[in-house]
Amino acid sequence: MVKTPIYLDYQATTPMDERVLDAMMPYLTSKFGNPHSSTHRFGWEAEAALDVAREQVADVIGSETGEIYFTSGATEANNLALKGIMDVWGKKKPHLVTVVTEHKCVLEAAKSVEKAGCRVTYLPVKPNGLIDLDQLAEAVTTETALVSVMAVNNEIGVIQPMAEIGAICREKGALFHTDAAQAFGKIQLDVDAMNIDLMSISGHKIYGPKGVGALYKRNGRQTTLTPQMSGGGQEGGIRSGTQAPALVAGLGAAAALCKAEMAQEKDRLAKILDRLKSKLFKALPNLLINGDEEARWVGNLNVSFPGLDGDLLLANIRSLAVSSGAACASAVSGPSYVLQAIGRTDAQAKSALRIGVGRFTTDDEIDFAADTLVGAVNAMGGLKP
């Protein structure tokens, strides 16, 4: 007997791992000092939490410890990267390149730098959700300061060719930023091998706490950026504000666990999702998978149910916690702009559900979810070709 509702929305957020909570607890109780108080033990203890977490985050992506700057999350890191870089380089190299399927915060930050006088190119994607590398190479010019491409898409789970993108950026003399909120700790990322200059990271996507993230920024004059908050100059002057040692310790612990368990977790999730797909497609052969079936994160299944309304389907599967799109765009009505970008019709986009599996998903839950979905679809009259 499975306990409901079953959580299958791991792209929206992840439940905190108890081992992460254990790492956080001392900084919520006895080690309560301000990490920026440098004259006594309470401050030193709190500062040590930041130092350890910086090492743990850097270790996942092969960066230097001093290249990690803690933020409130990936949204802040994305804004800091795009606005901060373009503010410095906007007059000399006033061009930014990004992708139409980026997270809302990247697209909104891009609009902001446009209003400030910069030029932005929004690259389309192919029907499988991946960018065309030839189009990227053509778009990047001597005036391009920054290219921003999401590593793993938050809606359809596709993995962009990071090393190839990084090579193009390096050859063309542009900086490469990636929103890695859905990729960090899940797939192999190496900032040097992939020529990544800036990377945004989120704590709550990797079984850590909400309200904390990080920006990796490669050391060097070229990656100089303008801070977006004025204050006491914490985080090397990049991000002012008193850091929360408990949240940062949680991010660090979550990162370390992800690195240690990455390979086995990927294999387990691939088997779980294959189990779900096999059951669904056997009963509902007209299902339509959104996004490339090979170059994708194994914990994501975005699928359209032809002829059905996704919101109505959701209303009939209350025992399952899944979504009809990205949590960040839940306040926006209408079909997903990501699904529209890969060529889905409005009807196909509106019939889509995003199913995300993760560390705590069990086989029994998958079986229950498949039976529930198939039963709901059939009760609604079945799929239409």
Q: What is the pLDDT of residues 308-348, one digit of tens each?
A: 999 999 999 999 999 986 555 555 568 999 999 999 999 99
Same domain, 86 and 233: yes
Residues 65 and 108 in one domain: yes
Considering the domain boundaries, does residue 384 fall inside one? no
Q: Which residues in the chain belong to E strands, given as ranges?
A: 6-7, 68-71, 95-99, 119-123, 144-148, 175-179, 198-202, 213-217, 288-289, 300-304, 320-321, 352-356
Pair 368, 248 in one domain: no
Look up tokens 């004059």; give the residue: 221
**293 and 175 in a common domain:** no
Domain boundary among 256, 289, 315: 256
Mean pLDDT over the full length of the chain: 96
Examine the domain organization and report whether 250 and 270 are in the same domain. no
Q: Mean pLDDT throughout 134-153?
A: 98
What does the pLDDT look like over 247-282, one tens digit per residue? 999 999 999 999 999 999 999 999 999 999 999 999
Residue 174 has pLDDT above 70, yes or no: yes
Question: Which residue in this structure is represented by tokens 């910086």?
Answer: 54
Structurally, how many domains does the chain consist of? 2
| Alpha carbon distance 25, 190 (integer Å) | 31
What is the DSSP code (8-state) at residue 208? S
101 and 131 in a single domain? The answer is yes
Same domain, residue pair 202 and 346? no
Asked if residue 134 is part of any domain, the answer here is: yes
| Together in a domain, 83 and 29 | yes
Q: Which of 105, 118, 258, 328 is catalytic?
A: 328
Residue 185: which CATH number? 3.40.640.10
Specify the pLDDT at position 326: 57
**267 and 247: one domain?**
no
190-204 confidence digits (pLDDT tens): 999 999 999 999 999
- Same structural domain for residues 150 and 275? no
Q: What is the CATH number of the domain that holds 10?
A: 3.90.1150.10
Annotated catalytic, 328? yes
Q: Which domain holds residue 84?
A: 18-256
Q: Are 227 and 333 part of one and the same domain?
A: no
User: Within a domain: residue 385?
Assistant: no
Q: Final residue of a domain: which of 224, 256, 288?
A: 256
Is-above-0.95 flag for pTM? Answer: yes
- Same domain for 218 and 292, yes or no, is no
The burial of 384, by beta-carbon neighbours within 10 Å (0-12 exposed, 13-18 middle, 19 or more buried), is given as exposed
Last residue of a domain, one of 213, 237, 256: 256
Q: CA-CA distances (angstroms) from residue 163 to 123, 159, 193?
A: 18, 11, 7
Q: Is residue 83 part of a domain?
A: yes
348 part of a folded domain: yes
